[in-house]
Structure 1
């Protein structure tokens, strides 16, 4: 199972999103910044590294939850973070174009359908767990657990 991190950096009721230009499964979609957890690092270390690599910002990650993606030939465990504190100068990335988007405008952007479900929970205090089931690009089921007891 692939292990990744995804970080939503927030400022003034806006999230810093990346509009993916890399020709992969995320091409032309908007999302937070992130990527694969390396074998020698913890999820929080990966979140700090990925955020810096993709934005130039040094963040203070806040754990928000575990998201599990399921499809026929693909399984992923994504650890979700939010960052309200950061420093540095925003820089561009090969991954795509960075843009600040107002939180109430997120549904107007092309994203994975399941992202809309966990984005609604980023402001809640307690971490959560969610399973997203896809049939190719189509979301077919969402299962969630509100609170994670073992953080």
Structure 2
């Protein structure tokens, strides 16, 4: 039984749910992949390698979903199950973090907030607030409180 079409269908549905903005110029995708590959090469611990490899897989799958196939994902195998599970959990958690922060900031159109950047740094909260015209002071305050209880994966 071939698993690849099932994995591709799952990833397409997941990317559709995330609803991230298509980036411009198209070279953005290749630049992100290069950056993630550099970070993967410098990872030292097994946990760091898992996290950085999930970022590489995410970069590839996002580019493919957005119509800029820069590379193919490795063929699905049971050895990748943990990696895919980690990637889905990591980026879904980040996406939900920003949605929840927007709700807690009483943003009426909270569902337009679609982000997966790592919210563990305050400057990322500022960037997201700026993109969605959210009060940065309030968004940062809420984000800091939320980080105390939110299960963020590195």
Q: TM-score, normalising length from structure 1?
A: 0.28
Higher relative contact order (CA 8 A, sep 6+): 1
Name whichever structure is richer in helix by fraction.
2
Choose 1 or 2 for highest CA Rg. Answer: 2
Q: TM-score, normalising length from structure 2?
A: 0.28
